[in-house]
């Protein structure tokens, strides 16, 4: 999936269109997620910042995938590429509501956890980086890529 753009003349943006802003009250989850959405009515945002050389240089056109495993099935919620600043942002994700943390009965619900995978053909792929999203909060995930040594997988 992440390597699709390597075998074409199209840019990553053409293959992975930026459809990532979630309007309030809507959800990217399928019908079987209605129970999950009721348990996690809050909304938080995620920003992923990709760089190289220990944060010195931002990386453009890095593929970022945000997924979640629910009932044993992995669902990809967002696929996007970083901009010239090395950022993918405004990803709105379900989270535990702030009010639920104040009530003993609902305080036992675990935090909303997501998996972030980052890919660029010249760098080591970061797979399933765990990130927790909180209600009414922007979570920033900084990622510093490590260059591949030797030949690329595709020769």
Residue 151 domain-assigned?
Answer: no
> For position 74, what pLDDT does the model report?
81
CB 44 within 8 A of CB 139: yes
Q: Residue 65 sits in a domain of what CATH number? A: 2.60.40.10
Asked whether the beta carbons of 100 and 126 are under 8 A apart, the reply is no
* C-alpha dihedral (120, 122, 123, 128), degrees to nearest 10: 30
Whether 32 is covered by a domain: the verdict is yes
Domain count within the chain: 1
**Per-residue pLDDT, 20:** 42
| Confidence at residue 108, expressed as pLDDT on a 0 to 100 scale | 72
* Residue 80 belongs to some domain of the structure: yes
- Give the model's pLDDT for residue 10: 55
Nearest one of 101, 105, 64 to 83, comparing CA atoms:
64
Residue 154 domain-assigned (yes or no) = no
Residue 107, both tokens: 């305080």
The two tokens of residue 19 are 């459809």
pLDDT in the model for residue 6: 47
Q: Are 8 and 15 in contact (CB under 8 A)?
A: yes
Q: Is residue 149 part of a domain?
A: no
Nearest to 133 by CA among 50, 35, 46: 46
Model confidence pLDDT, tens digit, residues 73-94? 788 888 999 999 999 999 999 9
Q: What pLDDT is recorded for position 113? A: 93
Domain limits at 65?
4-144
Parts of the chain with a pLDDT under 70: 1-33, 106-107, 150-155
Kindly state whether residue 129 falls inside one of the protein's structural domains: yes
Does the residue 153 lie in any domain? no
Q: Answer whether residue 155 is part of any domain.
A: no
């Amino acid at each position: 999936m992440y390597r699709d753009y390597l075998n074409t003349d199209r840019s990553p943006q053409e293959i992975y269109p930026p459809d990532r802003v979630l309007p309030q009250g809507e959800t990217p989850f399928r019908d079987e997620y209605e129970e999950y959405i009721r348990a996690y009515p809050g909304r938080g945002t995620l920003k992923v910042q990709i760089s190289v050389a220990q944060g010195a240089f931002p990386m453009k056109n890095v593929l970022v995938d945000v997924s979640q495993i629910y009932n044993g099935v992995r669902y990809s919620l967002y696929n996007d590429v970083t901009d010239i600043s090395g950022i993918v942002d405004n990803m709105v994700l379900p989270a535990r509501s702030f009010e639920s943390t104040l009530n003993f009965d609902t305080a036992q619900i675990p935090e909303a956890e997501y998996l972030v995978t980052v890919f660029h053909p010249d760098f080591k792929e970061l797979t399933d980086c765990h990130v927790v999203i909180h209600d009414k909060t922007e979570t920033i995930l900084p990622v510093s890529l490590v260059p591949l040594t030797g030949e690329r997988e595709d020769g």
